[in-house]
Structure 1
Amino acid sequence: MHTGEATLPERRTPAAPIAPPLKGTVLGGLLRTTRPKQWVKNSLVVAAPAAAGQLFSRHALTQVALVFVLFTACAAAVYLINDARDAEADRAHPVKCRRPVAAGQVPVPVAYAVGAALAVLAPAAAAWLTAPLVAALLAAYVGMQLAYCVRLKHVLVADLAVVTTGFVMRAMIGGVALGIPLSRWFLITTGFGALFMVSAKRYSEALQMAGKSGATRALLTEYTTGYLRFVWQLAAGVAVLAYCMWALEEGGAPHPGVLPWRQLSMVAFILAILRYAVFADRGTAGEPEDVVLRDRALALIGLAWLAMYGLAVANW
């Protein structure tokens, strides 16, 4: 008994400095729970319209902006329900304990209620304001992500597939909203590009948690770093190949006196993959948006790619 009593305080001490109760309103806590920093991922909804050169009409801009808002609402619903479900476990985590639901700023029932409301209202609004297939995609995204929160994040490979599919859905939905045919090479590039970043992040987490079982995703203890390295290397190779096929397929013959910008953009794309792989190999590839924004060289390569692809779309 004495041994048991002595060990209990030691096990609870990591949870003791758990962050004092967060100051602020419930509304502010709800906003924080929706992860505004992650909203940048939803900008992928412009990918298909931009690639097709159909982004700059009033109708297209209105539809893409609407889809961005609806997708953000669906993602917010998933975050709210996930944090409500994991509130107890998050309180014992040194970082997640600061999440508004775990810290008590947002009551668990409120998080569940708002999340459920958004999960229902966003697809319903899409069915009313956009194409029916957009509503179906949003509903499928919510269902898939909730399944991930409940079960699939604990299933080997399925966790990678679900997160990757979420990125592909973002890239598809803008084209679906505008009735733009989606190139198979566009979808393959998007899918394997996303898998590259997701598996690189998992690989980095696995390296950083070596010898710290339970400090981060429990599933990482079941992956080997060798396997995750294989996945991100395979995904990078397929993404590069698919992008080259896409650029060559869609490029067509350049106008007289005009450089083949679409084909030239392959150079920037490959350089971006190679640069990102540096961080993956070092084990420092965290959130994709953080990697891109914090590395000046990668950001410049990205801007160069955007410029070349924009010139290609404009037929300059």
Structure 2
Amino acid sequence: MTDVRAEAIAVRREAPARALFRLSRPRQWHKAVMLFAAPAAAGALESPVLVLRAAVAAVGFTLLAISVYAINDIRDAPDDRRHPTKRLRPVAARVISPAVAALLGIVTALAGLAITSSLGVSTFALATAYLVAQLFYVFGLKHVAVVDLVIVALGFVLRAAAGGTATGLPVSHWFLLVSLFGAMFLVTGKRKAEHTAVSRPVLAAYPTSWLDQVLTVCLLGAALSYGMWAFQYLGHDAYRELLAISFLPFFTGLLRYALLVSTGRGEQPEHELFRDRVLLIAGLTWAALLTIGLYCA
């Protein structure tokens, strides 16, 4: 209790600039790596121009995400003040006023749309769709069972697709399915972990047995989609065959993560990768096989 009080006092004394930075949730910025997935899967990361275009798109989508976080915190402030940890969010803690948070949301939204528009109509359209979908989520759809899962997963798919349009690279349908099923797998695992750790109204609509069914479907969907993507390159080139072999550590990682979720972990997927040794080794092995198969052929 003493630590919580000390943290609350520190938050109230927080400098406005630092509070705004915290409002933007920098721990979530890693999601922009999805903008590099399409050029990486196409073996195009050797091109500085394409990497730069993907980086510009990543900045644009990160700004759009910051806009959504700001609007979300304004809307959820009354409920956040009753939550043991969310009450420390800048708006809920009254360190940042709703007006300032709204200004941040508007500025970052306009900046994100302006940046993505410089990458072409298709990327701008995907960015707009992302922003609209996330705002619908904030303003009510996050309380609608199933729809909330789909919209969160859709955010990852739109990022992945935008990585292709921003760089002008064709995106495999199997690649998009891997993104969709993989995102649904992680989001569903997060919801299951939150059943016992976090108070979220929509969780009451999700029986654990149903979440387990969705996890199974998404695991199989992600595995089969990745297999179809990887095996389409199988040929006489020894390096390309490594893409097919990469299916094994990919599937192992999915199964291992599903096991962690079944034991109550999975609320923070990005942290589990580094805390679980088997998951980390599987991830590194998959990354190595994928890199050699795509860039050494």
TM over 0.5: yes
TM-score by length of 1: 0.89
Partner of 2:42: 52
Partner of 2:168: 179
**Could you say if the C-alpha distance between residues 93 and 258 of structure 1 is closer, same or farther in structure 2, counting changes exceeding 3 Å?**
closer
User: Between the two proteins, what is the percent identity of the paired residues?
Assistant: 38
Alignment of 1:244-263 (within 5 A): 244-249=227-232, 251-255=233-237, 258=239, 260-263=241-244
Asked if residue 292 in structure 1 is aligned to residue 282 in structure 2, the reply is no
Amino acid across the alignment from 2:181: F
- How many residue pairs match? The answer is 293
Inter-partner Cα distance in structure 1 for 2:270 and 2:209 = 25
Contact 2:57/2:115, CA 8 A, preserved across alignment = no
CA shift digits 1:217-238 (9 cap, x unpaired): 1110111111111111110011
Secondary structure of residue in 2 paired with 1:19: helix
Contact 2:80/2:86, CA 8 A, preserved across alignment = yes
User: Once the 2 structures are TM-superposed, how far is the Cα of residue 113 of structure 1 from its aligned partner?
Assistant: 0.9
Contact 1:186/1:243, CA 8 A, preserved across alignment = yes
Partner of 1:305: 286
Q: Give 1:23's match in structure 2, choosing from 13, 21, 36.
A: 13
Secondary structure of residue in 2 paired with 1:75: helix
Contact 2:60/2:112, CA 8 A, preserved across alignment = yes
Contact 1:83/1:102, CA 8 A, preserved across alignment = yes
Amino acid across the alignment from 2:22: R
Contact 2:56/2:115, CA 8 A, preserved across alignment = no
Inter-partner Cα distance in structure 1 for 2:27 and 2:226 = 28
Contact 1:18/1:91, CA 8 A, preserved across alignment = no
Q: Give 2:148's match in structure 1, choosing from 152, 155, 159.
A: 159
TM-score by length of 2: 0.94
Q: Give 1:225's match in structure 2, choosing from 208, 220, 230.
A: 208
Inter-partner Cα distance in structure 2 for 1:49 and 1:82 = 31
Contact 1:18/1:94, CA 8 A, preserved across alignment = no
Alignment of 1:179-198 (within 5 A): 179-198=168-187
Asked if residue 98 in structure 1 is aligned to residue 79 in structure 2, the reply is no
Contact 1:193/1:239, CA 8 A, preserved across alignment = yes
Amino acid across the alignment from 1:110: V
Asked if residue 243 in structure 1 is aligned to residue 243 in structure 2, the reply is no
CA RMSD, aligned part only? Answer: 1.8
Partner of 1:264: 245
Inter-partner Cα distance in structure 1 for 2:220 and 2:87 = 38
Where does structure 1 differ by over 3 angstroms across 4 or more consecutive aligned residues? 15-18
Contact 2:62/2:112, CA 8 A, preserved across alignment = no
Partner of 1:7: none
User: Once the 2 structures are TM-superposed, how far is the Cα of residue 305 of structure 1 from its aligned partner?
Assistant: 0.6
Inter-partner Cα distance in structure 2 for 1:123 and 1:136 = 9
CA shift digits 1:217-270 (9 cap, x unpaired): 111011111111111111001111111111111x13132x55711001001111
User: Once the 2 structures are TM-superposed, how far is the Cα of residue 122 of structure 1 from its aligned partner?
Assistant: 1.1
Asked if residue 142 in structure 1 is aligned to residue 142 in structure 2, the reply is no
